[in-house]
């Protein structure tokens, strides 16, 4: 079972294309460009070279010895995407899409960003290829991720503050879509997660599946067997789908996606779409959505900007309904505690997003003696230092 969407981009009844008519032909054009590139050995050669020499692939699969000892159960491995250039997995997709944009002759690239990691990765590849770059970011996210705002500007990108709605990722995506609708002839929308209309969820997965392919080979090398479970955090779901994909045919491998449980299970206080949402349509795709009884999209909350979004990527909805993957949520406090534990047992400060996956793996480890866990450490925590300081005041005197 290796999932491919149907011709309309549907994973089961999820995904599809729900956009204003203005964008339909451009999406068809993008799909053609992506499909042609996918068949072109020269495209793959250039992308592989960039991933290797510029981004730093392959990333290590690291055995977390002290974390494993501390928890006293499963043997825990970390897929070190945090070591990639720009500090997170996002660069994989950005390098792929910027090559597509160049094939399509687009001179201007726009993107949305939540935590700022995708914005930084987009600004980076635009600098690398000499393209104009505009990044939309919610005002609330700009406040809590100030360092990344500056990094984007230093890289030559224009960062546009979005003050609508919840002033977070969802509103940044809406504003980027409005820009794309207006400037579609010259502009490529470099969407940063496995979200939006076909071909984006498929394309973003294809550019991130290298994580799972590497991890699958590396764990077999290290343990002479497949892992029992693979953990990844799920906002839109790009790092999760990227590491899950290669393991989907391996029925013995549990795939565990970790959403943001936020402050509580009350609507508006979390971003747990599977436990708190229902199927709906937002920003181009059908999937599990946090919404009220009138079909208005709910506000969400997470301490981690990258998980703070009302819709989950459509392929995850399908993996959920088919039972192939399991989705759970981890609250703000547990994620913060897991970040501190990983910092002090392994000397690795994780991104808050990735700390959600670490927390879930840690919570299961003691009951899983003899098992092997792989956790996707999708990003590093430099960008979250201000939030860690706010939450660990006793360390900051």
Partner 1 sequence: MTRIGRLFENLKRSGGKGLIAYITAGDPTPEHTPALVEALERGGADLIELGVPFSDPIADGPVIQRAGERALRAGTTLRKVLDIAREVRRRSEIPLLLFTYLNPVLRYGLEALAKDAAASGIDGCLLTDASVEEAGEYVRIMRAAGLDTVFLAAPTSSPRRQRLVAQYSSGFVYLVSHTGVTGERETLSDAVGPLVRSMRSITELPLAVGFGISRPEHVAELGQQVEAVVVGSAIMHLIERNLDNPSLEVQLESFARELKHGFEMAKAGAHRP
| Whether 234 contacts 316, CB under 8 Å | yes
Catalytic residue among 31, 81, 106, 112: 112
Q: Which residues pair with 271 in a beta bridge?
A: 260
60 binding partner 1? (CB under 8 A): no
| Whether 136 contacts 216, CB under 8 Å | no
Among 59, 71, 24, smallest CA distance to 242 is for: 59
CB of 246 to partner 1, least distance (A): 30
17 binding partner 1? (CB under 8 A): yes
HEC letters along 199-212: CHHHHHHHHHCHHH
25 binding partner 1? (CB under 8 A): yes
| Choice from 5, 11, 14, 23 touching partner 1 (CB under 8 A) | 23
Nearer to partner 1, 19 or 248 (CB): 19
26 binding partner 1? (CB under 8 A): yes
What's the Cα-to-Cα distance from 336 to each of 78, 269, 304, 357, 391, rounded to whole Å? 18, 16, 10, 11, 8
| Choice from 11, 19, 142, 328 touching partner 1 (CB under 8 A) | 19
300: left (phi over 0), alpha (psi -120 to 50) or beta: beta
Burial class (CB in 10 A: 0-12, 13-18, 19+), 44: middle
Tell me, by CB under 8 A, how many residues bind partner 1: 37
382 binding partner 1? (CB under 8 A): no
**Footprint of partner 1 on 270-329 (CB under 8 A):** 280-284, 289, 291, 293-297
Place of tokens 């550019």: 207
| Catalytic site includes residue 25 | no
| Whether 231 contacts 357, CB under 8 Å | yes
162 binding partner 1? (CB under 8 A): no
| Catalytic site includes residue 90 | yes
| Choice from 66, 107, 158, 164 touching partner 1 (CB under 8 A) | 164
165 binding partner 1? (CB under 8 A): yes
CB of 35 to partner 1, least distance (A): 17
CB of 281 to partner 1, least distance (A): 5
Cα 68 to the center of its chain, rounded Å: 25
| Catalytic site includes residue 366 | no
Catalytic residue among 31, 79, 81, 90: 90
Among 278, 275, 298, smallest CA distance to 288 is for: 278
Letters for 183-212 (x = contact with partner 1 by CB under 8 A, - = none) are xxx---------------------------
Active-site positions read 90, 112, 378
């Amino acid at each position: 079972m290796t999932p491919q969407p149907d011709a309309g981009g549907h994973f089961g009844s999820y995904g599809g294309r729900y956009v204003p008519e203005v964008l339909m032909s451009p999406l068809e054009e993008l799909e053609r460009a992506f499909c042609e590139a996918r068949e072109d050995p020269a495209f793959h050669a250039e992308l592989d070279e960039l991933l290797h020499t510029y981004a730093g692939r392959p990333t290590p699969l690291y055995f977390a010895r002290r974390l494993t000892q501390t928890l006293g159960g499963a043997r825990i491995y970390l897929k070190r995407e945090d070591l990639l250039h720009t500090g997170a997995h996002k660069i994989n997709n950005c390098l792929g899409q910027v090559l597509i944009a160049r094939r399509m002759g687009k001179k201007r690239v726009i993107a949305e960003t939540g935590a700022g990691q995708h914005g930084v990765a987009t600004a980076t590849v635009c600098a690398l290829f000499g393209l104009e770059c505009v990044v939309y970011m919610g005002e609330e996210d700009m406040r809590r991720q100030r360092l990344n705002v500056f990094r984007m500007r230093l890289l030559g990108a224009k960062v546009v503050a979005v003050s609508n709605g919840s002033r977070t990722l969802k509103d940044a995506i809406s504003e980027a879509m409005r820009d794309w609708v207006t400037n579609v002839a010259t502009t490529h929308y470099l969407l940063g997660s496995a979200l939006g209309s076909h071909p984006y969820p498929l394309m973003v997965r294809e550019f991130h599946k290298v994580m799972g392919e590497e991890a699958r080979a590396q764990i077999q090398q290290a343990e002479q067997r497949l892992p029992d479970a693979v953990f990844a955090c799920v906002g839109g779901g790009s790092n999760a789908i990227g590491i899950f994909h290669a393991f989907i045919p391996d029925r013995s491998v549990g795939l565990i996606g970790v959403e943001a449980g936020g402050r509580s299970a009350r609507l508006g206080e979390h971003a747990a779409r599977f436990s708190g949402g229902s199927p709906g349509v937002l920003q181009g795709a059908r999937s599990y959505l946090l919404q009220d009884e009138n079909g208005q999209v709910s506000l969400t909350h997470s301490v981690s900007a990258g998980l703070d979004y009302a819709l989950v990527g459509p392929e995850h909805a399908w993996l959920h309904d088919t039972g192939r993957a399991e989705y759970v949520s981890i609250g703000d406090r547990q994620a913060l505690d897991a970040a501190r534990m990983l910092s002090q047992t392994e000397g690795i400060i994780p991104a808050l997003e990735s700390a959600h996956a670490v927390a879930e793996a840690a919570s299961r480890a003691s009951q899983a003696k003899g098992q092997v866990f792989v956790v996707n450490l999708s990003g590093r925590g430099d960008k979250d230092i201000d939030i860690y300081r706010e939450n660990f005041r006793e360390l900051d005197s």
